């Protein structure tokens, strides 16, 4: 099987476990293919954790789940030096971050010091402990979850950490007509009636990434990406509303993320080039967490998605 066939098979398998959340499944795959990290935000019970578990279960990859709590310490994530009396020396005990897929569950329940323990791993793909730098696995992705409505005992993620997520995916309720399938799926799992399948090898992801690097992106599409990002910084050029709504625009990581995610989206959908539809398909997930809205926008109930919708109306393809 080709790399694309294997990735599509992985998508199909995940879709059988995550009913009515095709958008979430595709975004997790795009994050994996683009070598980025993904933040899933939604109410409890919407299969955020289940989606990451389904990805790990169907791949030949290790999964480490970290349940974030207020009393968590940075060393609980990265690991620490432990003294070995028999050898009379300190030895490094690796933490859960040294796995392939990291499920950071309820990431906003831990204070900034603990959240920052992920920063180096998420961006530089390495961890420094005890003065020594240790690389992460070749296949590495942080998939974090958070609850948008429960604020007591939570700590908002700092902008620097939010910027290190390639995509911020909003998880919604499954369509009403598909909820009965969820009941049947869980009932079948509880009865143990499921078929064991050969996991998709990690090499399929690496081969896919090589092919994605070869996806053609025309100069006009590059300019479109840059124009969208710059419109978040100088919205007044396009409309009075954009200038009033945005306090801080997207960083250069926003443009890099759009380029990566759009190429991965084009590849996943069988195209050898990036079109405007690929950029528009991923722009909300890539930019919504990189915008800081003004007090005027917040007072008027304007969301980041509303701002991005306006960007798409105002910014034309060159």
Condensed to tens digits (0 to 9), the pLDDT of residues 241-272 reads 898 999 999 999 999 999 999 999 999 999 99
Residue-range definition of the domain harbouring residue 223: 214-314
Same domain, 122 and 161: yes
Condensed to tens digits (0 to 9), the pLDDT of residues 2-37 reads 999 999 999 999 999 899 899 999 999 999 999 999
* The predicted structure's pLDDT at residue 145: 93
Same domain, 183 and 139: yes
Same domain, 154 and 55: yes
Same domain, 182 and 39: yes
Domains held by the chain: number: 2
- CATH number, domain containing residue 69: 3.40.50.300
The model's pTM is 0.92
Condensed to tens digits (0 to 9), the pLDDT of residues 164-203 reads 999 999 999 988 888 888 888 888 777 665 567 899 999 9
More confident site: 308 or 93? 308
Condensed to tens digits (0 to 9), the pLDDT of residues 50-70 reads 999 999 999 999 999 999 988
- Spatial separation of the C-alpha atoms in residues 180 and 53, rounded to whole Å: 22
Report the percent of the chain where pLDDT is more than 70: 97
Same domain, 56 and 167: yes
Same domain, 155 and 8: yes
Please state, rounded to an integer, the average pLDDT across all residues of the chain: 90
Any domain includes 53: yes
Across residues 205-212, what is the average pLDDT? 97
* The predicted structure's pLDDT at residue 151: 65
Condensed to tens digits (0 to 9), the pLDDT of residues 136-153 reads 999 999 999 998 876 666
Condensed to tens digits (0 to 9), the pLDDT of residues 217-245 reads 999 999 999 999 999 999 899 888 898 99
Same domain, 271 and 161: no
Buried b or exposed e, range 70-106, using 16+ CB within 10 angstroms = eebebebbbbeeeeeeeeeeeeeeebbbbbbbbbbbb
* The predicted structure's pLDDT at residue 192: 64
């Amino acid at each position: 099987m080709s790399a694309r066939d294997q990735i599509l098979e992985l998508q199909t398998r995940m879709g059988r476990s995550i009913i009515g959340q095709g958008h979430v499944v595709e975004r997790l795959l795009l994050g994996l293919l683009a070598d980025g990290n993904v933040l899933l935000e939604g109410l409890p019970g919407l299969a955020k954790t289940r989606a990451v578990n389904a990805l790990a279960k169907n791949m030949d990859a290790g999964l480490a789940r970290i349940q974030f709590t207020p009393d968590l310490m940075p060393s609980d994530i990265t690991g620490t030096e432990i003294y070995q009396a028999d050898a009379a020396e300190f030895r490094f005990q690796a933490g859960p971050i040294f796995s392939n897929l990291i499920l950071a569950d309820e990431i906003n329940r831990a204070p900034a010091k603990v959240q920052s323990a992920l920063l180096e791993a998420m961006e530089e793909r390495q961890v420094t402990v005890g003065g020594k730098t240790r690389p992460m696995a070749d296949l590495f992705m942080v998939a974090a979850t958070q609850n948008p409505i429960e604020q007591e005992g939570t700590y908002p993620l700092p902008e620097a950490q939010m910027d290190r997520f390639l995509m911020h995916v909003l998880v919604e309720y499954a369509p009403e007509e598909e909820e009965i399938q969820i009941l049947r799926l869980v009932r079948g799992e509880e009865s143990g009636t499921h078929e064991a399948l050969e996991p998709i090898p990690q090499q399929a992801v690496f081969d896919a990434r090589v092919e994605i690097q070869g996806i053609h992106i025309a100069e006009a599409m590059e300019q479109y990406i840059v124009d969208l990002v710059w419109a978040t910084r100088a919205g007044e050029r396009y409309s009075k509303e954009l200038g009033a709504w945005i306090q801080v625009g997207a960083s250069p990581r926003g443009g890099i993320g759009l380029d990566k995610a759009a190429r991965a989206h084009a590849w996943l959908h069988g195209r050898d080039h990036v079109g405007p539809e690929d950029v528009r398909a991923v722009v909300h997930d890539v930019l919504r967490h990189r915008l800081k809205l003004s007090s005027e926008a917040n007072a008027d109930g304007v969301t980041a998605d509303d701002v991005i919708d306006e960007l798409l109306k105002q910014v034309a393809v060159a």
